[in-house]
Structures are given as C-alpha cells and as structure tokens.
Amino acid sequence: MTHTAPHYPIGDLAKRTGTKVQTIRYYESIGLLPEPARTSGNQRIYGQDQLDRLAFIKHARDFGFPLDAIRELLEMTDRPAASCAEADAICRRHLTEVRRRIGRLQALEGELKRMVETCSHGTVADCRVISVLSDHEKCCAEEHEPVETMPYKATA
C-alpha cells in the first residue's frame, strides 16, 4: 500500500474535470470509464489514470465529439504505437460536420434576420414572421433543408 498514489472520491473527480457526478456514473454505466475500486462502504475511489481518462473525455466532449468517436479515440490512446490515421480521420470527419452545421446555421441566420427586420410590429394578421412561416412562397430560400434541433432553455 503506497501512500503516494492519489485517490479521489467521485465528487473530487467531478470538480477537477468539470463534469457532474451523475455524468461520471453515466459514463461508467455505458462502459466509457472502467468500474473503479470501492471503499468498504461501497463508495467509488479513483486514481490518477481515471482522472486523466475522464479529463480526456470531458475535453473531447467540449470539442463536440460524440461519445462513439470518443470511445474510438480512447481505444487509440491505449495503443500509443499504432498509427494515428484513424484519429486524424475522426477529427476531419468532425470538422466537416462542424462546417456543415455552420453553413446551415448561417443560411438560417440570414432568413431569420430578414424576417424580424421586415416585421411591422402590428397585428398577427400582418406579421411578417407569421406570414413567412405560413407561406412557403414568401420564404427567401429556394429550398432549405431542416436545421438540427435546438432546444434552448427559457431565458426568463
């Protein structure tokens, strides 16, 4: 039993990585994090390895990588001598996706901007916003694909 190896309870891990406790347990449940050691009272204790692994996951999530891609990237970190072509490919694919999204959102931004700018602030019957949404003809884009879902929280 060494006294030098650090060991953290789940709350410390959460604070140090900026993830939520539930999220860490969720990652464990889907096999993204290995099952950690437990105290005699059944509480999880983590070492440096786990902390690093979780930090990697968190960072990759902040970059917007989906968990499947992160899983692949983590497998690669376990084989440091392997070629990084796959990691490169994952990253490029992600970049392409990000650019596609930016394009869609920018087209959307233009249309929304026009909508609010031409709104005459009168009644619903005359409202530009409503009329554009009601009538496809009034819409500027010839053909526009649906943008990804965006559930934004209420700004009360």
Task: Note the residues at the interface with its own copies (CB under 8 A).
Answer: 52, 55-56, 59-64, 66, 73, 76-77, 79-85, 87-88, 90-95, 97-99, 101-102, 105-106, 108-109, 111-113, 115-116, 119, 121-127, 129-130, 133-134, 136, 139, 144-152, 155
Q: How far apart are CA 29 and CA 26, in angstroms?
A: 5
Could you tell which of DNA, its own copies, none binds residue 155, using a CB distance below 5 to 8 A set by kind? its own copies
- Euclidean distance between CA atoms 139 and 147, whole angstroms: 15
| Footprint (CB under 7 A) of DNA, residues 50-79 | 61, 66-68
Chain residues 14-43 in contact with DNA, contact rule CB under 7 A? 14, 20-23, 25-26, 38-43
Quick one: tokens of 36?
């950690």
User: Which residue from 36, 61, 39, 62 is spatially nearest to 49, judged by alpha carbons?
Assistant: 36
Q: Taking CB under 7 A as the rule, does residue 11 contact DNA?
A: yes
Biggest distance spanned by C-alpha atoms of the chain: 77
